[in-house]
Amino acid sequence: MKIGICSDHAGVDYKAAIISHLAEKGIETVNFGTDTYESMDYTDVAHPLASAVESGEVDLGIALCGTGNGMAMTLNHHPGIRAGLAWDETIGALVKQHNNANVLVMPARFIPLGKALRIVDTWLGAEFEGGRHQRRIDKIPFRG
Ligand code: RB5
């Protein structure tokens, strides 16, 4: 299991903490940046992360920005990505169980760090339920 992770300047500290948290569990991460507090555009790290998930270079992704919305909007432009925003542990589980999110997105400025780590754990521990949820996922691409 290899997880790609990225953040903009708003999520740098949370990203570092998640990388350590996953390392303690023996889970390898690939860091797509950013690693400074200098203001930057979330798109510049979100697209490389999305491409790595789509190519199979990493199995799953985690992305953080201030609200999570810029990351989610950018990531979901990639056809192979289902990026889901989660701000509590239950949603962290549901975004895998119901939406099979292959990238977990969190709003670093609006949740405490401990909650972010627990969301990562519930998302990783959850299983996609398939069935009616697979049917709904299949209908996400707009076909006019
Ligand atoms: C950065 O100030 C902020 O706009 C960004 O982290 C994110 O919230 C955008 O969606």
- Alpha-carbon gap, residue 138 to 4, rounded angstroms: 24
Q: Is the pTM value of this prediction over 0.85?
A: yes
Testing ligand 1's pocket by substitution, the residue of 6, 38, 42 carrying the most ligand atoms inside 8 A of its CB is 42
Q: Is 73 in the pocket of ligand 1 (CB under 6 A)?
A: no
- Residue of the CA atom closest to atom 9 of ligand 1: 70
> Which is catalytic among the residues 9, 47, 98, 133?
98
Q: Is 66 in the pocket of ligand 1 (CB under 6 A)?
A: yes
Let me know: does 83 contact 72? Beta carbons within 8 Å.
yes
- Residue of the CA atom closest to atom 7 of ligand 1: 66
pLDDT of residue 144: 87
Torsion of CA 42, 45, 51, 56, to 10 degrees: -120
Q: 65 an active-site residue?
A: yes
The parts of the chain modelled with pLDDT lower than 70 are none
CA 121 from chain centre, in angstroms, equals 12
The SS3 call for residue 51 is: helix
Q: Which of 17, 61, 4, 66 is nearest to 40 (CA)?
A: 66
pLDDT of residue 90: 98
